[in-house]
């Protein structure tokens, strides 16, 4: 797991190609949020997180990750496959009948790397907290990572969980918010403003890191490493990761339009032409 930055940057391009091809093949899925979170997933699984392969559901003695905003499954599945959890060829079954790669991740399909079912927004922080507390009871020093959409933060359960984690000093947890400013129907500002989220998280008792360059791989790695350094200090840690929905594909960037829409044949071609690699490893 010691890939160079150059190799990891190539991986981000390959993951973007996978996302687009997966969603295009079945004419459904969520490319926008997925593309925006590529650097986060690459940093996490390519550099920062300590995980064990082959996959074990127990997750003892290793860091674990929960995707709370389950609709961005394409970036999750591609990353898991590309780092060796399951065969890359299986990405071609995305959203097909009887596939292990359902539109939203499920545990009963036994896909390696998936530890919770998600898609119904708002639940992953609670699951992460439970796991973090279990790790403490077990004397397990490893960490729990969770990812959430900013629109997802409009769910009430999130705020109960935020309050609980700080009150119970769950300081082995790093929750990241995909702060892309967009959600299914428009901007988060327009649909239901989160207000001064940074201050709100701090007021709830969290250590808050804000990273403005969420699509700069090195910046994301640094933010995650910094977050790691903050663990064990009595407070849960949040990263507000400023990302761009649709990042990497010019006509998909910065709009909610591609939250849950597949590209046409011509659009796929145009998108892939923007994501070139010396050695393309499409499945
Ligand atoms: C409990 C719940 N309510 C509504 C939805 C429908 N839904 C799916 S994605 C989404 C938008 C969420 O916005 P955000 O978390 O910012 O994701 P992004 O659009 O940035 O990918 C909504 C409302 C859902 N999946 N779960
Ligand atoms: Mg969003």
Model's pTM, two decimal places? 0.98
User: How far is it, in rounded angstroms, from Cα 249 to Cα 242?
Assistant: 17
106 by DSSP, 3-state: which? coil
Q: What was the pLDDT predicted at 254?
A: 85
- Specify the ligand 1 atom closest to the Cα of 256: 19
Residues with CB under 6 A from ligand 1: 32-33, 69, 71-72, 119-122, 149-152, 178, 180, 182-184, 245, 259
For the chain, first and last CA: distance in Å?
Answer: 21
Q: Return the best residue to mutate from 35, 146, 151, 256 for the ligand 1 pocket (most ligand atoms within 8 A of CB).
A: 151
DSSP 178: E
Q: What was the pLDDT predicted at 40?
A: 99
Q: What was the pLDDT predicted at 2?
A: 81
Q: Which residues of the chain have pLDDT under 70?
A: 1
Q: Return the best residue to mutate from 152, 157, 159, 260 for the ligand 1 pocket (most ligand atoms within 8 A of CB).
A: 152
CA 107 to chain centre: 17
Q: What was the pLDDT predicted at 65?
A: 98
CATH number of 5-273: 3.40.50.970
User: How far is it, in rounded angstroms, from Cα 65 to Cα 245?
Assistant: 21
Tell me how far the alpha carbon of residue 137 lies from the centroid of ligand 2, in angstroms: 34
């Amino acid at each position: 797991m010691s890939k160079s930055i150059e190799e990891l940057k190539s991986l981000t391009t390959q993951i973007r190609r996978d996302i687009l091809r997966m969603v295009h093949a079945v004419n459904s899925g969520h490319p926008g949020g997925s593309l925006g979170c590529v650097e986060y997933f690459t940093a996490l699984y390519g550099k920062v997180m300590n995980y064990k392969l082959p996959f074990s559901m127990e997750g003892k003695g290793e860091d674990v990750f929960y995707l709370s905003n389950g609709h961005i499954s394409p970036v999750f599945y591609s990353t898991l496959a590309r780092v060796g959890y399951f065969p890359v060829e299986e990405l071609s079954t995305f959203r097909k009948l009887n596939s292990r790669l359902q539109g939203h991740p499920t545990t009963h399909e036994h896909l390696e790397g998936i530890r919770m079912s998600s898609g119904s927004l708002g639940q992953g922080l609670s699951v992460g907290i439970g796991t973090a507390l279990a790790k403490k009871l077990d004397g397990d020093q490893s960490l729990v990572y969770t990812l959430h959409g900013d629109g997802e933060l409009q769910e009430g359960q999130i705020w109960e969980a935020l309050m609980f984690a700080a009150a119970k000093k769950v300081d082995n947890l790093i929750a990241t918010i995909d702060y892309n400013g967009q959600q299914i129907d428009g901007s988060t500002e327009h649909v239901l403003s989160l207000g001064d989220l940074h201050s709100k998280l701090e007021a709830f008792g969290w250590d808050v890191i804000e990273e403005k360059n969420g699509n700069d791989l090195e910046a994301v790695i640094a933010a995650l490493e910094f977050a790691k350094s903050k663990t064990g200090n009595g407070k849960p840690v949040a990263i507000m990761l400023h990302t761009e929905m649709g990042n990497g594909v010019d006509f998909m960037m910065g709009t909610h339009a591609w939250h849950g829409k597949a590209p046409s044949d011509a659009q796929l071609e145009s998108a892939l032409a923007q994501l070139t690699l010396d050695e393309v490893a499409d499945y």
